[in-house]
Structure formats: structure tokens, C-alpha cells
Amino acid sequence: MTGVSRPGKQSELRAVLNKFRGATMAIILLSSALNILALTSSIYLLLIYDRVLTSGSIQTLVSLFLMIAFLFIFQGLFEILRSNLLAMLGHSFDRKIATRVQKLEMELAVTNKDTALPMRDLDQIRGFMAGPGPSAMIDLPWILFFLIILFLLHPLLGLTTLVGAIVMGILTWTNDKRSVEKVTRLTEISRERAAVAQRFRRNAETIKGLGISKRVNHLIAAKHDEYVTAQSDLSRQTSFFGTLSKVFRIFLQSAVLTVGAVIVLNGQATGGIIFASAILAGRALAPVDQAIANWRNFVGARQGWHRLNALLAENPDEQSMSVELAAPHESISAERIMIAPPGSQRIAVAEAQFKLRAGDAAAIVGPSGSGKSSLVRGLVNVWPLARGAVRLDGAELEQWDPDRLGEFYGYVPQEIELFSGTVAENIARFEPDAPSGLVTAAAKQAGLHDLILHLPEGYETQVGEGGTVLSTGQRQRVALARALYRDPFIVILDEPDSNLDPEGEAALIEAINNVRERNGIVIIVTHRMPLLKHTNIVMVMNQGKQTAFGPRDQILDALNKQRENSASAKTDTVQSGLKVVSGKDR
């Protein structure tokens, strides 16, 4: 479900961040204390030159040293505390929003959109928040504080440092302007590289079988080289501006020393001013230096923040229903539904309309590409409807909580995908502490129990990523057991017998009959007569349209007559053609 955020409405990320105002204020207060404590070295030098050296008092020197040591201990403790608070803030922010972002990724995966960016954007945001970048940004306004002190010491010292701050500001601005485009390009190439690698990895068996590994590796290497080149380009720029900033800051300290020496030579200040002002000038511009060093992370986090905010606004979170409807047990109906593949304007299913009641088993038949799989994806709420409504016991699917809605469905898609874990976990849909009795019951309904017992570790056997440990037929039967887990009201099977042996087909037929006997509803996409015999309703799809729907025998008789008429017409045409040819020959 998509939507647009209302004008003036607070963004979702900002709302989450606002929950940590206390931690944010603590970080700001610690930063204030740290910047004030940064005066320690300058004051110490000033007192050494103007008090200790002139008085020659060892007692004064020791007292000052102990006081300074005490202040440095506090400065170190505050710095550690601030770093820990930033790390905790990044971690807590991630925990508050990660589930929402993961859910968003699942929604984007269904709509065939890029699913790599949301979590990667969150990683960039969390990484920046927990790193030294925020400290540098918080310290930037304190440049003004140090400039005021330098102006108080002497206007020339303040003016020299101000000029240096302006130059550093220009460097930062230039770095930002040049970094934005490079970071955007690097992010895009990184996404493409990950997508290419994932696509080829998913088809590794086919690639090896066709003997095209070298060609594929060449394509992957080319994309990787493009990524490394873009990364090196960005690193060179960051390194260039970072080095330029550091060298200039050191030069500025020398310039301030020179100005301080001139002031002392003119008798306008004491000797301690020379070194104290140089340290103050260096401390004043240190945040700029740190900001440039962390600018790449800042730009990445800023772009990630904007992208993630936009995605969250376009895909608002489903609100929990205030009234929870009872589990459906009567019917499923489609009301003039239209379905288009996500991200496409092509209508795959147009104006489908029917109603099935408890105990029905409907077979959806039709030629390849007629919209059968698209229809069941709409029924199971995998693909959004372009128009119309699917209802369970009269209630539209939107009236159900999405997670609870899944409890009412059992679904075996055309392409079977098991998840890394045990056989039991896959059957139980990874339900925590799933009752063993329900897991074995589902396996028995799918005729899978005895087969599982002969696996190396029984129900605890790891299936591997994508179920690669199991054969294709075994994966299909595990998927059937998963669909039957907890006896869902509606079981939708998309060509469930495509990889089954006779024993598996018998188990599938028994499972269909069991669902009907317990007053569930079965919807099967199939071309095979053995399954059609165990249905009572047939729907015919052709070119995305529902061309027939009704009792099985009635629809099959009509289809047979249609074929006979078509065959008769072709025979007449051929015979007519033969007569024409015979006439010409004579």
C-alpha cells in the first residue's frame, strides 16, 4: 500500500530520532563541557610563561600541573562518555526503526523494486551517528567561541584565525559540492554490483552447466572494477581535501604564532600569548578538519536519510486494526478485480469475478501466459489489485492485519523457495516454539512424514539456502506441508504437481480432499486431469480474462465441445482445400 506524507507532517525518521532527545541533549552538554575544557592547554601555557617563569616558583608550577592533570582526566572521561552515548544513540535508533525498514524491504521485493538500498541506507545512518562525525558537527558552532577569545586576546589574532576559518569553510563547501555527485554514483554502482552478483549467484548451476563461467566472471569483474574505480576517485578527493585542510591548519597555527610574536615585539602582550593563541587557533579549526575527514560518511548518511525518508513516506506503515475480525470460514470472493505486475502498466488479469464457498475446490485452467499465476498472486495479496476487491467472508483484505491475514492462507507458488533452516522450521513458517504435533501433522497431510524420518537428522535436517539439500520434488512437498501448517482456510496451489512422482501426486490429492473435508477452500492452477477430478469448480482463463466459471463437469463438457467444433472446422477447411486442389489438377 502506498501513500504520500502529508504536508508539514513530521517524517518517520525524525519522529524516531525525537524519542532520544534526552540522549541528544546529554551529548550537546558534554560537547559544551569538552570545548570549554579545550581551553586548558592554552591557559596552562599562558600561566607558565606569565606566572611561573617570571616568579620562578616551583610550588606554583606543581599546583598548576596538578590542577591541569585533574582537568585533563575529566576531559578524557567526557570524551569517552560522549563517544559511548553516540554509539548507544546509533544502536537505539537502529533498533527502533530496523523492523519497519526490513518490512519495507519485503514490500519492495514483492513489487520488484530495489531492495538493497533501505537497509544499506539505515546502516549508513547508524554508522555515521555512532562515529566521530556528529562530534565534529556539534563542535563546529564552537568556532565562534574560540574566535571571540582570540579577539579578546588581540584583534589581529582573532582576524588571522577568522580568515583561516573562512578558507577552511570554502574548502569544506567545495568538498561537499564535489562529493555529492561522486557518493551518489558510488552508491548506484554498488547497488548494481550487488544485483549482478546476486543474479548470477542465484543461477550458478545453470551458468556452470552451460559452460559460461568465464563470461559471467568477466561481467562481474567489469562491474567490480567500475565500483573500485569510483571508490578510488572518491577516496582521492577526500584525501586531497583532508590533507589540504590539515596542512593549512598547521600553516595557520604558524601564522598565528608569527602575528603573536609581532604583538609581543610591539609590547602589546606578554610572551605567553604567542603559544596560547596558536593552540587556540588550532583548536578553533579542528572541527572543520574533522568534518572534512568525515565528510564522505556525512554525505552518504544525508543521502541515505533522504532516500529512506522518501520510501517510508511512500509506503506508510499499516496501522493495527482497532477491531479484530474473526477468522474466515465461509467464503472467498473476487469482485471485478484487475491485476497488473508491480512496476508495469500491463494488465495481467482483467475483470475476474467469482465466489467460492467452504468445501469448494476450484481449478484454474488456461494456456500459458493467460494470467493464472497472476490471479492467484492477487488472491493471496502478494500483488496489489489495480481495481476491484478480494473478500474473505465479505471483508476486504485491507480490513485484516497483514500478518494475521497470512494465517488464513496456505500458498505454494510456482517457483518453490525454501529458507535456510531446518525442515521443521520451514514447515512451521519459522514460528517460534512451534508445536511439534502441528509440524508433524502438516508433514503427514503432505505425505512427507516418512520421507523426513529417513533424512540424516529427521525434522532437524538443514535444508540449505533455497532448500538445495533437498531434491526438487522434496522441496515441493515441504512447500505443500508449509501451506497446510495450522490448517489454513484457503489453500492456493500454483501447479503443485509439476515435480512430483506418483507417490507425491497421491499425497497431494489426499491433501486436497482433506482440506475440503474440513470445510476449507482449495484453489489449484493446473493442466492435469488427475487433479481436476478432485475439484468441483473450474475457471478458465485466456489472455488475462476469465472466460468461464462454473461446475467442473459443465465447464469441461463445454470445453470438449468447443475443441470438437474447432477440430471439425479445421477438417472442413482442409477437405475444402483438397477439393480445390483436385479441381485445379484436373
Whole-number Å distance between alpha carbons of 73 and 413: 64
Mean pLDDT of 354-379: 94
Please report which confidence band the pLDDT of residue 582 belongs to, taking 50, 70 and 90 as the band edges: very low
Alpha helices by DSSP H, 111-154: 117-130, 133-139, 143-153
What pLDDT score was predicted for residue 570? Answer: 54
Of 43-52, 71-80, 259-268, 551-560, give the lowest mean pLDDT range: 43-52
> Is the pLDDT confidence value at 59 over 60?
yes
Mean pLDDT of 125-141: 89
> Is the pLDDT confidence value at 571 over 60?
no
What pLDDT score was predicted for residue 176? Answer: 79
> Is the pLDDT confidence value at 26 over 60?
yes
Question: Are 285 and 249 spatial neighbours (Cβ–Cβ below 8 Å)?
Answer: yes
The dihedral built from the CA positions of residue 382, 388, 392 and 397, taken in this order, carries a sign that is: positive
- The mean pLDDT value of the chain amounts to 85
Write the CATH number of the domain with boundaries 12-180+237-314: 1.20.1560.10
Higher pLDDT among residues 360 and 108, named by residue: 360
**Residue among 307, 301, 303, 398 nearest 101 (CA):** 307
Whole-number Å distance between alpha carbons of 431 and 439: 10
> Is the pLDDT confidence value at 321 over 80?
no
Q: In this structure, which amino acid lies at residue 201? A: R
What pLDDT score was predicted for residue 581? Answer: 36
Q: Which CATH superfamily is domain 331-556 in?
A: P-loop containing nucleotide triphosphate hydrolases (3.40.50.300)
Tell me the range of 41-45, 144-148, 309-313, 350-354 where mean pLDDT is highest.
Answer: 350-354
Please report which confidence band the pLDDT of residue 1 belongs to, taking 50, 70 and 90 as the band edges: very low
> Is the pLDDT confidence value at 140 over 60?
yes
Mean pLDDT of 305-310: 90
> Is the pLDDT confidence value at 573 over 70?
no
Question: Are 384 and 396 spatial neighbours (Cβ–Cβ below 8 Å)?
Answer: no
**Cβ neighbours for 86, distance < 8 A, ≥ 6 positions apart:** 27, 129, 130, 131, 134, 135
Whole-number Å distance between alpha carbons of 146 and 249: 15
**Residue among 408, 374, 395, 397 nearest 521 (CA):** 408
Q: What does the CA dihedral 101, 104, 106, 111 come to, rounded to 10 degrees?
A: -150
Of 42-46, 53-57, 386-390, give the lowest mean pLDDT range: 53-57
Question: Are 522 and 483 spatial neighbours (Cβ–Cβ below 8 Å)?
Answer: no
Mean pLDDT of 355-365: 96
Q: In this structure, which amino acid lies at residue 118? A: P
Higher pLDDT among residues 225 and 289, named by residue: 225
| Tens of pLDDT, residues 201-244 | 767 766 766 677 787 788 888 888 888 888 888 888 888 887 88
Q: Which residue has the cell 475476474?
A: 352
> Is the pLDDT confidence value at 77 over 50?
yes
At 341, phi and psi to the nearest 5? -55, 140
Mean pLDDT of 176-205: 79
| Tens of pLDDT, residues 499-509 | 888 888 999 99
> Is the pLDDT confidence value at 567 over 60?
yes
Whole-number Å distance between alpha carbons of 287 and 176: 15
What pLDDT score was predicted for residue 66? Answer: 92
What pLDDT score was predicted for residue 190? Answer: 83
Please report which confidence band the pLDDT of residue 580 belongs to, taking 50, 70 and 90 as the band edges: very low
Question: Are 347 and 340 spatial neighbours (Cβ–Cβ below 8 Å)?
Answer: yes
> Is the pLDDT confidence value at 314 over 90?
no
Please report which confidence band the pLDDT of residue 319 belongs to, taking 50, 70 and 90 as the band edges: low
Higher pLDDT among residues 31 and 275, named by residue: 31
Mean pLDDT of 132-155: 88
Q: In this structure, which amino acid lies at residue 257? A: L
What pLDDT score was predicted for residue 343? Answer: 75
Of 186-190, 255-259, 442-446, 477-481, give the lowest mean pLDDT range: 186-190
> Is the pLDDT confidence value at 9 over 80?
no
What pLDDT score was predicted for residue 5? Answer: 41
Domain parsing of the chain, residue ranges: 12-180+237-314, 331-556
Mean pLDDT of 240-261: 85
**Residue among 298, 162, 176 nearest 241 (CA):** 176
What pLDDT score was predicted for residue 159? Answer: 92
> Is the pLDDT confidence value at 329 over 50?
yes
| Tens of pLDDT, residues 486-539 | 999 999 999 998 888 888 899 999 999 999 999 999 999 987 878 899 999 999
